[in-house]
Amino acid sequence: MKEIFAKAEEKMNKSLNNLAQEFAAIRAGRANPAVLDKVQVDYYGSPTPINQVAAVSVPEPRTLLISPWDKSTLGLIEKAILMSDIGINPQNDGGALRLLFPPMTEERRRELTKDIGKMGEDCKVAIRSIRRDAMDKLKDMKKKSEITEDDMKNGEKKMQELTDRFVKEADKMAESKQKEIMEI
């Protein structure tokens, strides 16, 4: 029975980590190197993350500076950013790329907060699905007489408490990201 809880908790943690990664990639009007995490550069024929071919820094609140270690990759990095869906055109100064993040409009902020709410809901649905699977395993164990009725009831109660904890954390994360987006 302990392994059921351990696996469920591990999967719920993965759901929250995935949510955190999705939130990190959302532009909040200020520069965040995480927006480049999904951008891959075609480096000698293999897709490589930007942070493995260049130094990414934040010299100003709304500017990302990308300094490639090998200057010959500057064009490749620029092309990869242009092909990505981050929606910012890099400025090439011959030695580095600058990404200038424009301030967001009120309409765009509201749109993003809705998206964030939906991502939070999707995470909570995944967590509840994990709970359902664990509950099914507990019921199977009861049917096979591997555990008693009381053990099953206690297990269900513990699983619900675990689920509530993770759902609350997902709500907190979504609320925090929404506040970050809405502040000017």
pLDDT along the chain (184 residues), means of 10: 91 94 75 81 88 89 88 88 83 88 82 92 96 93 89 92 95 92 76
Amino acid at 141: M
Residues 85 and 55 in one domain: yes
- Long-range pairs of 103-106 with CB within 8 A, sequence gap ≥ 24: 103/29, 103/62, 103/184, 104/27, 104/28, 104/29, 104/181
Residues 122 and 146 in one domain: yes
Residues 63 and 39 in one domain: yes
Residue 14 confidence (pLDDT): 95
Judging by beta carbons within 10 Å of its beta carbon (0-12, 13-18, 19+), is residue 64 exposed, middle or buried? buried
Residue 162 confidence (pLDDT): 94
How remote is the C-alpha of 89 from its chain's centroid? 23
Given 79, 100, 121, the domain boundary residue is: 100
Residues 38 and 85 in one domain: yes
Residue 164 confidence (pLDDT): 96
Question: For residue 60, what are the β-bridge partners?
Answer: 63
Q: Which domain holds residue 153?
A: 2-24+105-182
